[in-house]
């Protein structure tokens, strides 16, 4: 089964340093789960300003790990600038959440964290 993330850009940044890559993976695992929970809560509470902040904060890490969620994150950011209900953004956050939880498991397994 193929991975939901890619370490190509991380590998390039680290020069192939496995120890550095493990530290970055651990940092991702320390920071992104609480940010994801806060993003989900902000959407649930229709707090668009907070939802934008968390979506925007998560974007560079999602890009760095090559996780195919930029369309959904950008969709969440765009939703925060509209008067649309939370129902319109639920498909985006559901895919983001499901995908990231699988990535968390893959990173833990791949980096023995």
Q: Report how far residue 111's alpha carbon sits from residue 98's, in angstroms, rounded to the nearest whole number.
A: 20
Residue corresponding to tokens 């956050």: 93
Q: What is the mean pLDDT of the chain?
A: 95
Q: What integer pLDDT is reported at residue 1 of this predicted model? A: 66
pLDDT on residue 69? 97
State the chain's maximal CA–CA distance in angstroms: 46
Q: What is the pLDDT of residue 9?
A: 82
Confidence at residue 89, expressed as pLDDT on a 0 to 100 scale: 97
Asked whether 99 and 69 are in contact (CB, 8 A), the reply is: yes
pTM for this structure?
0.93
Whether pLDDT at 10 is above 90: no
* Domains of the chain as residue ranges with CATH: 8-110 (1.20.120)
What is the distance between the terminal CA atoms of the chain, rounded to a whole angstrom? 20
Rounded CA separation 53/39 (Å): 8
Reported as a single tens digit per residue, the pLDDT across 49-99 is 999 999 999 999 999 999 999 999 999 999 999 999 999 999 999 999 999
Tokens of 10: 């991380």
Q: What proportion of the chain, given as a percentage, has pLDDT over 90?
A: 90
């Amino acid at each position: 089964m193929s991975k939901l993330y890619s370490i190509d850009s991380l590998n390039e940044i680290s020069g192939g340093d496995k120890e550095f890559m493990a530290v970055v993976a651990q940092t991702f695992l320390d920071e992104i789960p609480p940010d994801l929970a806060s993003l989900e809560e902000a959407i649930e509470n229709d707090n668009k300003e907070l939802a934008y902040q968390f979506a925007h904060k998560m974007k560079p890490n999602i890009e760095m790990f090559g996780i195919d969620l930029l369309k959904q994150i950008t969709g969440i950011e765009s939703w925060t600038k509209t008067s649309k209900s939370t129902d319109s953004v639920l498909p985006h956050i559901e895919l983001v959440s499901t995908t990231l939880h699988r990535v968390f498991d893959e990173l833990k397994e791949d980096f023995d964290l």
